[in-house]
Structure 1
Amino acid sequence: MNLPDSFIRYTSRLMGDELYARFSDGLNEEAPVSIRINRLKSRGRSVAGTAVNVPWCGDGRYLPQRPDFTFDPLLHAGCYYVQEASSMFVHHVLRSLVSTPVLMLDMCAAPGGKSTAAASALPEGSILMSNEPVRARANILAENMMKWGSPDVIVTNNYPRDYVRSGLDFDVILCDVPCSGEGMFRKDEGAVEEWSPQNVDACSRLQREIVADAWQCLRPGGLLIYSTCTFNATENEENIRWIVDELGGMPVAVPVSEGWGICGSLLADFTAPVYRFIPGCTRGEGLFMAVLRKSPDAESPIILRKGKRYVQDKYDNGNKKRKDKAIAASLVSRDIEKIVSGWTSFVSGDEHIEPALRQSDVCVLALTPHLARLYDAASLSLRVLSAGVTLGNVKGHDIVPNHSLALSSVLCPDAFPVVPLTYTQAVAYLRRETVALPPDTPMGFVLVAWHDAVLGFVKNIGNRANNLYPQEWKIKSTHVPDREPWVLV
């Protein structure tokens, strides 16, 4: 690999000769292929072939080769997520350090790998707010979170400072900050071309700005998870040192196994526990992660509004006119409420929960009661792209089921007829082509599935079935697969 000379000089000094030699050899190896299984949808399926477990993530699997994921209907159904193995470490961190329900924010979440991992790792009853500042990337994030199907998630498109102004505060905040991308050199040639010492310094400054905003949103005693996909100490150890010295962060250790090959700090004068994934040492791409706790004695998050400093209740946000507008928007007609009754099945422990309904523009949302309260507060000051389960789109006194409902883990199994598809039909459906249904298929809205995994809705009107798969998600490739995918059985 043709690396920049300045990168080689700096990194070889940082790592030392022996570690750098292992790293250099690792960069010249083929990047491993890995996926993470969605336990909400796995239904007893196992990974086919000679898959090997990712040691720090019980749901992670290394695949022996890279299949054509585009043409696997189970990927589009959200049965698994294609994720680089090192990034799955956040699953282990959350499982190790969080044991009771929390409110968590993933501040820079696109495309959604760490957010879907967090949704699977958090204790039942937790809520995840998954945010991405860049609109195009936020739409991809919303798509991937919808496919994952977890009901206690809100996706937003905001800058970190918007969260500070919102007054919302969190038990756990993940800052997977934009970085110089050194850890992606093996997979992304563009990252090599864009690298420069100047970019490293610019990234370090931006990372501190993001963390400073995130820290204001963190509750006393809360956890900040900081991560990058880069190797240099400027964006890693030095930023952790800054969080400790300037913000009062207290480093937190995470239990790891020696057999995982994870390295600690590369600075002799740095003692805080950090976790470095380096190609050649670990089977994955480059990753740095550290966890810091905010002092339990720290002040509650305080924001500035109209020149006055005050603590803002997260459920009492905004002025009266904005509140009245939100309340009006939340009203759902009795006709619609009657139609959607029985479409979802929310369960907490052994108890069934009646969801709260909200109308957002022409969409009706189903939210657990605790998510509904947070949604009401967040929607006043943040750009919410999705929340809970979008049941459907209102058409007069009727409602058209939304794709979010089809992919949700709380979809009631007997809410709609289900038609199994052949593999060829499933790919045609994902291309948004017409799919022929059996002649005895009931009229109206019907779910289509492949290997018991729901792909989405069609509307059977008798002489044909209208394909309701989202236009922007459809497979655009005209390639015809010569065989069925083998990732999951």
Structure 2
Amino acid sequence: MNLPESFTSYTKALIGDGLFGKLLHGLTDEEPPASIRINGMKHHIHDEDTSRQAIPWCEYGMYLDKRPAFTFDPLFHAGHYYVQEASSMFLHHILKSYISSPVIMLDMCAAPGGKSTTAMGALPEGSTLIANEPVRQRSQILAENIQKWGNPGTIVTNNYPKDFAKSGMVFDVILCDVPCSGEGMFRKDEDAVREWSTQNVENCRNLQREIVAQAWKCLSEGGLLVYSTCTFNAKENEENVKWISEELGAEILPVAIEEQWGITGSLLKGFQKPVYRFLPGVTKGEGLFMAALRKNGQKETATSIGKKKNKKEKKERNNGIKSAQLATSWLTAPDNFNIAQSGNTLTAIPKPMAGIYATASEKLKVIHAGVTLGTIKGKDIIPAQGLALSTEFNTAAFPSVELSYSDALRYLRKEALSLPEDTPQGFVVMTYHGTPLGFSKNIGNRANNLYPQEWKIKSARIPDNDVSPL
């Protein structure tokens, strides 16, 4: 790896020759470890799972002996696990350390969804998460991954941080996993090495402070801010945490860690505050920096937002109930939801989330929320892909067809499948190992594959055997 000279000289001066030697070995001589995080709402950990090396800072994380071709695993597409590098799962440990009752959380820069889904596995039941992504195309990928994960207590938005500051919305927890110079991705992404420059580091530091300053306006008094980058330098890390502390008045919070985890603390001279660094060659994962901070002041909660309703939300709910009584039977606990209608689309919104959903719909660009039930088309309601993957899906509401491994991949490639002759006509759930993958519509002589075009597997290859790590 041909590291930039200015990066090498700065980093060596920052962390010392000994630690830099370990980092260099990790970047150039070690293979990046493969790891996944299991969706505890969909997959129960079995004995064969626990025999693998666990990731100690995340109860759902595990290292894999090798990296399988995840694209060809139907359970991956069904949201049974998320492919995530181990260091990023440290968010789980921070949230578990400080959050013990339901909260409203904002992930400000959330795409592609790794840390948002990590947060869902750590937050107490009854919490609401807004996963936001400013870049439109990336926000669509985020919405896809959130729907695959299946947690209904989530809203996906496509807004800039300043939009949240203007909205007047307040959050108990905010994650700022900010855009950075990407030094922590050097061994996985050659482009990160080529695009690195000292000027880009400065540009990132300034942008990061702008994002945090906007987020700070949305954080409740006593609220938790988690600041995160995937880079090594102190300019984007310790210096920014110091700025947040001194300029915004944040308290830097400690998190209990074990020595054997190999997590390094602050490397900036004169700044001995509790921050957490993951260095390849020292920890088993990619480069990451994370810090937990509290907004000083008397603790308040943002959960009162969930009790507010506006006329728009009430009207949409009533319209939805009138036009889609059938759709409520598609949920395991329909009384826990309000039905909202936007155009021809029906959405189930968890009742504790109703107020914040109404506010977000009014103030922000919402691209997904709760459980998308389906689309009204004539006398039909075409069930949505998000419904099939939701943890609230009542699978008994539709007939199902169990697919073989090869047929499951064909379905996920959006190819036509021949269904068994005794399959009822109408909408049918396609399953693999009993897990819903999506819907088809059986019209007798053929079946229409309803898997989303933009989600389909593009590779035509079908492995000989199931590649699932589960």
**Correspondence for 1:453 among 428, 435, 454:** 435
The CA distance in 2 between the partners of 1:49 and 1:298, in whole Å, is 39
Aligned twin of 1:99: 100
**Structure 1 residues 186-236: Cα deviation after superposition (integer angstroms, max 9, x where no partner):** 100000001000000000000000000000000000000000000000000
SS at match of 2:88: helix
Q: Which moved more, 1:121-130 or 1:432-441?
A: 432-441
* Structure 1 residues 433-463: Cα deviation after superposition (integer angstroms, max 9, x where no partner): 0111111112111111111221000111111
Provide the secondary structure at the position in 2 that maps to 1:366.
strand
Q: Which residue of 2 aligns with 1:189?
A: 190
The C-alpha deviation readout for 1:116-170, integer Å capped at 9, x for no partner, is: 0001110011100000000000000000000000010000000000001111100
Q: Is the 8 A contact 1:315 1:376 kept in 2?
A: no
Matched, 1:201 2:188: no
**2:34 match:** 33
Q: CA deviation at 1:268?
A: 2.3
Aligned to 2:458: 476
Shift of 1:272: 1.5
SS at structure 2 position matched to 1:164? helix
**Match for 2:16: what amino acid?**
G
The AA in structure 2 aligned to 1:337 is A
Letter in 2 for 1:131: N
User: Residue deviations 1:159-187, cap 9 Å, x none?
Assistant: 00000111110000000000000000010
CA contact (8 A) 1:332 1:358 kept: yes
**Measured at CA, do residues 253 and 360 of structure 1 come closer, stay the same or move farther in structure 2, by a change above 3 Å?**
same
Q: Deviations over 1:277-334 (max 9, x none)?
A: 0001100000000010001249999xxxxxxxxxx978779xxxxx655554444355
Equivalent-residue separation in structure 2 for 1:340 and 1:479 (angstroms): 37
**Unmatched 5+ stretches in structure 2:** none
Whether 1:261 aligns to 2:262 is yes
Secondary structure of 2:59's match? Answer: strand
- Give the aligned residue type for 1:376: A
Kindly indicate whether the alpha-carbon contact (under 8 Å) linking 2:136 and 2:158 is maintained by their aligned counterparts in 1. yes
Aligned to 2:293: 292
Alignment match, 1:19:
19
Taking structure 1 as reference, are residues 314 and 443 closer, same or farther at Cα in structure 2, changes over 3 Å only? closer
State how 1:121-132 maps to structure 2 within 5 Å: 121-132=122-133
For the residue of structure 2 that corresponds to 1:377, the secondary structure is: helix
Q: Partner of 2:251 in structure 1?
A: 250
Amino acid at match of 2:443: I
Is contact 2:156-2:367 (8 Å) kept? yes
Give the aligned residue type for 1:21.
G
- What is residue 352 of structure 2 aligned with on the other side? 370
SS of the residue 1:456 aligns to: strand
Which residue number in structure 2 is paired with residue 4 of structure 1? 4
Q: Do 1:429 and 1:435's aligned partners in 2 also have CA atoms closer than 8 Å?
A: yes
Of 315, 323, 341, the residue aligned with 2:328 is 341
CA change 1:108–1:339 in 2 (3 A) is same
Structure 1 counterpart of 2:171 = 170
How far has the Cα of 1:101 moved from its partner? 0.5
CA distance in 1, matches of 2:402, 2:202: 54
Q: Residues of 2 paired with 1:455 and 1:343: CA distance? A: 15
Q: Report the secondary structure of 1:198's partner residue.
A: helix
Aligned residues: 468
CA distance in 2, matches of 1:487, 1:314: 39
Shift of 1:26: 0.7
Describe the SS at the equivalent of 1:53: coil
Instruction: Tell me the secondary structure at the aligned position of residue 414 of structure 1.
Output: helix
2:364 pairs with 1:382: yes
**Whole-Å separation in 2 of the counterparts to 1:46 and 1:228:** 34
Paired AA for residue 465 in structure 2? R
Residues 246/300 of structure 1: CA separation in 2 closer, same or farther (3 Å cut):
farther
Counterpart for residue 57 of structure 2: 56
How far is 1:49 from its partner?
A: 11
Rate the CA distance shift 1:25–1:360 in 2: closer, same or farther, 3 A.
same
Structure 1, unmatched stretches of 5+, are: 302-311, 318-322, 347-351
* Aligned counterparts of 1:205 and 1:145: Cα–Cα separation in 2: 30
Determine the C-alpha separation between the residues in 2 that align with 1:44 and 1:34.
15
The answer to whether the 8 Å contact 2:402/2:431 transfers is: yes
Question: What is the TM-score when the length of structure 2 is the normalising length?
Answer: 0.96
Q: Distance in 2 between matches of 1:162 and 1:393?
A: 29
Report the secondary structure of 2:296's partner residue.
coil
After TM superposition, give the deviation of residue 78 of structure 1 in Å.
Answer: 0.3
Say whether the 8 Å CA contact 1:47–1:487 is kept in structure 2.
no
Q: What one-letter code is carried by the residue in structure 2 that aligns with 1:14?
A: L
1:94 CA displacement: 0.7
Cα gap change, 1:325/1:300 in structure 2, threshold over 3 Å: closer, same or farther? closer
Partner residue in 2 for 1:464: 446
Structure-2 separation of matches of 1:116 and 1:78: 10
**Could you say which residue in structure 2 is the equivalent of 1:416?**
398
Q: More displaced, 71-80 or 442-451?
A: 442-451
Is contact 1:130–1:156 with CA below 8 Å preserved after alignment?
yes
1:405 aligns with 2:405: no
2-structure distance, mates of 1:198, 1:425: 51
Structure 2 distance, partners of 1:378, 1:68, is 38
8 A Cα contact 1:50 1:64, kept in partner: no
> 1:113 maps to which residue?
114
The answer on whether the counterparts of 1:329 and 1:361 sit within 8 Å (CA) in structure 2 is: no
Deviations 1:87-125 (A, max 9, x none): 010011111111010000000000000000001110011
Q: Which has the higher helix share?
A: 2
1:482 Cα deviation from its structure 2 partner = 2.5
Matched residues in 2 for 1:435 and 1:47: separation? 33
Fraction of identical pairs, as percent:
57
Aligned partners of 2:256, 2:305: CA distance in 1, in Å? 35
Q: Which residue of 2 aligns with 1:307?
A: none
Note the alpha carbon deviations across 1:16-59, whole angstroms, 9 max, x for none: 01100111111121111111001111145566697321111111
Q: CA RMSD in A?
A: 2.0
Distance 1:91 1:298 in 2: 22
Which stretch of structure 1 is more off in the superposition, 397-406 or 185-194?
A: 397-406
Match of 2:319 in 1: 332
- Alignment pair present for 1:78 and 2:79: yes
Q: Counterpart amino acid of 1:422? A: S
Of 282-291 and 443-452, deviating more is 443-452
SS in 1 for 2:106: strand
Give the CA deviation at 1:413: 2.8
